[in-house]
């Protein structure tokens, strides 16, 4: 394998051949458990037929394979136990396993539907070498109940292919890759069948052929997959989580079984991270804590702040608030054997000046309140209005999470002494009204709104707002976008309203409509 460009990288792939069935057995441990000797399968509806989607080792020993109809499977194995297949739950389970493997490297990611990929470059010496690391991982996964196959390689594609299709017995990784079946190229079924019919049954057989001939007969994607598998080229891996610049970690010789003690350790890690943030002149806006259980699973908690902070007590309060809102509390199981804290988002945090009047921290108190409410109610539970660059009044703002960092935008401010150009109360959508005017395109002098007749004594306008033709061809009123003429009017009782005429007379439409859009104080 040509590994000159990749000699500093090492990947570990973990493949779970029976992940759906293993997940169901693990979930059922506290309830109606299944015997390991009982054939078990997961089923799904495929074009009106109930078929096997996944099986366990006992079912495979009985000759069952995915794709069989349930009726055929039951005829062969009457004692077959079945459960509905849930790919989304399998994906969430795979993500949990990926979090658990974060104990070995921060560069661990899921490869749906049934594998994990770990970039273990520079991490193996912490565990006594590659074999010691993978032995610990497989031991934990086996204790959890997951059947696992693994492989190492200098490229991610080769590591996964060796774990998925490798048979062992080769002296080196390059020879092992060349012995793999052409299924390891992960091509579509038609191309794979074409390779087999051409007598090319292994990666080595395909590699011996000239690349232009392979591309002409089986497509350029076949050559690309072959080059990546052999290590002659690589695909950028964007699935790995971004490594935090600041993190702190504790590993324990004996698992920690008490949640309160684990939270005390988290508080210590927050203090360490705060000191490092202070040295760098930074503050954290997102803190992530991972609690690694002895059985191989991990629990991830994160808190986000509206403003950067390096105060460990403030961050710890938010973590406790988050824990109080969890549907499933932090369960240590057989205990936590490692806890890691990462500062996922950092920003500059210069020193602040304390004012003499004592009210300079008002913004900080408001930000702290928003942080606490957002933790309890969720990120989208506390919102604020953000300006939008448009002239259409009902579309000039949108709701964004209050905890989100505001973008550069501002509301237009009236000049000193000038009355407000927009009402405090806006109707969305605008309410239709009946208007009487001296001429069709003139100002209103009487209107009926919500069954009441109003006589106009003062008016100001029109303020003309043209349609935004580059956006949707229809406006919120359900009509083709038309020009609006707005009037600020006052009735005989002193109440002030914001009305508009929808459309220009004769130029855009004959029968124009009027709408009430807002009320001034």
pLDDT at 6 over 90: no
Q: Whole-prediction pTM value?
A: 0.64
Read off the pLDDT of residues 232-262 as tens digits, 9 standing for 90 and up. 876 655 555 555 578 899 999 899 988 899 9
Query: How many domains in the chain?
Result: 2
440 part of a folded domain = yes
385 part of a folded domain = yes
Same domain assignment for residues 291 and 389: yes
Can you give the C-alpha Rg of the chain in angstroms?
33
Phi, psi of 54 (to 5 degrees): -155, 155
Q: Is 212 helix (H, G, I), strand (E, B) or coil?
A: helix
Asked whether the beta carbons of 227 and 233 are under 8 A apart, the reply is: yes
- Of the residues 377, 412, 447, which one is the last residue of a structural domain? 412
Q: Average pLDDT for residues 327-352, to the nearest whole number?
A: 84
Same domain assignment for residues 492 and 401: no
The residue range of the domain holding 348 is: 244-412
Same domain assignment for residues 440 and 385: no
pLDDT given at position 479 = 58
Read off the pLDDT of residues 283-313 as tens digits, 9 standing for 90 and up. 999 999 999 988 888 888 999 888 889 999 9
Same domain assignment for residues 374 and 507: no
- Of the residues 412, 438, 470, which one is the last residue of a structural domain? 412
Same domain assignment for residues 273 and 365: yes
Upstream peptide bond of 113 is cis (omega within 30 degrees of 0): yes
105 part of a folded domain = no
Same domain assignment for residues 435 and 394: no
Strands (E), 359-451: 383-387, 397-401, 425-437, 444-449
251 part of a folded domain = yes
CB atoms within 10 A of CB 326: 10
Read off the pLDDT of residues 354-388 as tens digits, 9 standing for 90 and up. 655 555 567 777 778 888 888 888 888 888 888 88
- Of the residues 387, 412, 437, which one is the last residue of a structural domain? 412
pLDDT given at position 242 = 58
CA distances, 298 to each of 95, 100, 109, 273 (Å): 10, 4, 14, 21
Cα–Cα distance for residue pair 82/226, rounded to 1 Å: 38
pLDDT given at position 372 = 82
Cβ within 8 Å of residue 452, ≥6 positions away: none
pLDDT given at position 403 = 81
Same domain assignment for residues 385 and 429: no
Same domain assignment for residues 440 and 389: no
Q: What CATH number does residue 398 fall under?
A: 3.30.1490.100
512 part of a folded domain = yes
Same domain assignment for residues 371 and 483: no
Same domain assignment for residues 393 and 479: no
434 part of a folded domain = yes
Asked whether the beta carbons of 176 and 58 are under 8 A apart, the reply is: no
Same domain assignment for residues 369 and 430: no
pLDDT given at position 243 = 56
Question: Which of 83-87, 192-196, 408-412 is predicted least confidently?
Answer: 408-412
Same domain assignment for residues 283 and 401: yes
214 part of a folded domain = no
Cα–Cα distance for residue pair 324/376, rounded to 1 Å: 8
91 part of a folded domain = no
């Amino acid at each position: 394998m040509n590994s000159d460009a990749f000699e500093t990288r090492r990947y570990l792939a973990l493949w779970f051949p029976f992940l759906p069935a293993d997940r169901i057995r693990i979930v059922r441990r506290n309830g109606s458990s299944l015997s390991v000797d009982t054939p078990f399968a997961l089923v799904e509806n495929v074009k009106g037929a109930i078929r096997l989607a996944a099986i366990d080792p006992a079912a495979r020993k009985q000759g069952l394979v995915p794709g069989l109809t349930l009726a055929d499977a039951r005829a062969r194995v009457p004692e077959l136990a079945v459960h509905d297949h849930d790919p989304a739950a399998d994906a969430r389970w795979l993500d949990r396993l990926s979090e658990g493997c974060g104990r070995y490297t921060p560069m661990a990611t899921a490869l749906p539907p049934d594998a994990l990929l770990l970039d273990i470059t520079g991490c193996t010496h912490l565990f006594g070498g590659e074999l010691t690391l993978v032995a610990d991982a497989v031991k934990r996964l086996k204790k959890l109940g997951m059947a696992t196959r693994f492989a190492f390689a200098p490229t991610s594609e080769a590591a996964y292919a060796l774990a998925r299709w490798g048979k062992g017995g080769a002296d080196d990784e390059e020879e092992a890759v060349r012995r793999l079946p052409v299924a390891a190229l992960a091509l579509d079924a038609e191309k794979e069948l074409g390779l087999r019919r051409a007598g090319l049954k292994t990666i080595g057989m395909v590699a011996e052929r000239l690349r232009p001939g392979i591309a002409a007969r089986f497509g350029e994607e076949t050559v690309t997959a072959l080059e990546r598998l052999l290590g002659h080229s690589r695909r950028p891996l964007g699935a790995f989580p971004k490594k935090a610049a600041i993190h702190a970690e504790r590993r324990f010789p004996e698992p920690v079984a008490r949640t309160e003690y684990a939270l005390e350790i988290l508080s210590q890690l927050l203090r360490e991270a705060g000191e490092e943030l202070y040295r760098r002149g930074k503050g954290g806006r997102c803190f992530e804590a991972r609690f690694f259980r002895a059985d191989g699973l991990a629990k991830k908690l994160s808190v986000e702040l509206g403003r950067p902070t390096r105060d460990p007590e403030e961050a710890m309060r938010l973590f406790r608030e988050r824990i109080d809102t969890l549907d499933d509390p932090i369960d240590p199981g057989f205990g936590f054997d490692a806890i890691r804290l990462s500062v996922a988002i950092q920003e500059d945090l210069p020193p602040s000046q304390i004012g003499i009047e004592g009210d300079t921290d008002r913004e900080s108190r408001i930000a702290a309140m928003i942080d606490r409410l957002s933790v309890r109610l969720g990120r989208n539970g506390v919102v604020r209005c953000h300006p939008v660059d448009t002239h259409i009044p009902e579309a000039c703002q949108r709701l964004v999470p209050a905890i989100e960092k505001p973008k550069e935008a501002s509301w237009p401010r009236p000049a000193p002494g000038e009355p407000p150009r927009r009402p405090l109360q806006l109707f969305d959508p605008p309410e239709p009204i009946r208007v009487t005017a001296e001429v069709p395109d003139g100002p209103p002098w009487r209107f009926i709104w919500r069954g009441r007749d109003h006589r106009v004594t003062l008016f100001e306008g029109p303020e003309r707002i043209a349609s935004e033709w580059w956006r949707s061809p229809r406006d919120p009123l359900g009509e083709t976008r038309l020009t609006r003429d707005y009037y600020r009017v006052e009735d005989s009782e002193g109440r002030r309203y914001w009305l508009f005429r929808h459309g220009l007379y004769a130029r855009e439409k004959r029968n124009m409509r009027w709408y009430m859009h807002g009320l001034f104080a």
